Structure 1
């Protein structure tokens, strides 16, 4: 039995790295579950693998869920590749095969996956397995199910950080509006 070792990287965090080992008989769903756990994704969003050429151009999509199923839930694939039905050895035909994995199509968490090595598997070890884990993927800060944005710093025209928050700036704007309103004694 062959094993595949993949390197997983991200554009969002240059330090992020995963090396994952899977058996040739593992499915893309097994790979997906390993990525979800390793990257600490919530696991409740749609995801897809895209088989790529050597320039990272997307070629073939392997999706988590068949979005083309008919009303009865019957698959109406028409060529759609579903993760749970596709084994790695059915797709991989290049010793340096590349994939782009996209998780959560609203936030588009994207990682780049490259096959690094094919070798004889040690079947005494559990598979799939994470061989190397460095840093974390960049995720938004979530509090009570609401995504919070980072507090924005305010700078003046010379690039000097303002000592006033946005609320104080609003007070100045209101004073200006009062000076130039129709009721102003200056008019």
Structure 2
């Protein structure tokens, strides 16, 4: 059974990519799910593949479902289309579009075909990860959940003791904390 290895580039930064190994008999739906998992995206949005050429021009569409839009030709459905059936040349390319509102675009390129399965791998599988994946919903994902906990615990948004405001002569302008020594009298 042929094992296909695809390199999935994040369109905006080619140094960010994931390599995925998949059987040629598996479907585009399985490839879709593997790409989302590899980039740590959820699966709540619309998605489609386009068969492509060396110039990354969009060809025949292989869609998650038939969407309410105009098609030049009816799309193939991911769940019904095996990957091997859409391989036209040894360097076959696809464009993967996810979340039509955000237009996450990935360039999918066939980089290797092997006749031997690796018994240690459960296909489909992500076999290589390069670069930091983009955050699907903003920058919080880059910092992780722990940063939000630290921010709440230490309340980093308020001004603490010792950070009052002073004018150029070093006199307190009264803009800092209210309790700056209690009953000090003005000189």
CA distance in 1 between partners of 2:112 and 2:14 (Å): 22
Change (3 A) 1:84 1:64: same
**RMSD of the TM alignment (CA)?**
1.9
Normalising by structure 1, we get a TM-score of: 0.67
Q: Which runs of 5+ in 1 are unaligned?
A: 69-77, 144-187
CA distance in 1 between partners of 2:79 and 2:95 (Å): 17
User: Of the candidates 100, 119, 122, which is equivalent to residue 117 of structure 2?
Assistant: 122
Q: Which residue of 2 aligns with 1:111?
A: 106
> Superposed, which structure 2 residues align to 1:125-140 within 5 Å?
125-139=121-135, 140=137
User: Of the candidates 121, 124, 138, which is equivalent to residue 141 of structure 1?
Assistant: 138
Q: Stretches of 4+ moved more than 6 A in 1?
A: none
Q: How far does residue 88 in structure 1 lie from its aligned partner after superposition? A: 0.7
CA distance in 1 between partners of 2:34 and 2:126 (Å): 8
Q: Which residue of 2 aligns with 1:88?
A: 83
Q: Which residue of 1 aligns with 2:56?
A: 56
Deviations 1:36-64 (CA, angstroms, capped at 9, x unpaired): 11111111000001110111100111000
CA distance in 1 between partners of 2:112 and 2:32 (Å): 19
CA distance in 1 between partners of 2:35 and 2:112 (Å): 18
CA distance in 1 between partners of 2:20 and 2:132 (Å): 15
Are the counterparts in 2 of residues 47 and 104 from structure 1 also a CA contact under 8 Å?
A: yes
> Superposed, which structure 2 residues align to 1:1-187 within 5 Å?
1-67=1-67, 79-122=74-117, 124=119, 125-139=121-135, 140-141=137-138
Are the counterparts in 2 of residues 46 and 105 from structure 1 also a CA contact under 8 Å?
A: yes
Q: How far does residue 65 in structure 1 lie from its aligned partner after superposition? A: 1.1
Are the counterparts in 2 of residues 8 and 114 from structure 1 also a CA contact under 8 Å?
A: yes
Q: How far does residue 136 in structure 1 lie from its aligned partner after superposition? A: 2.7
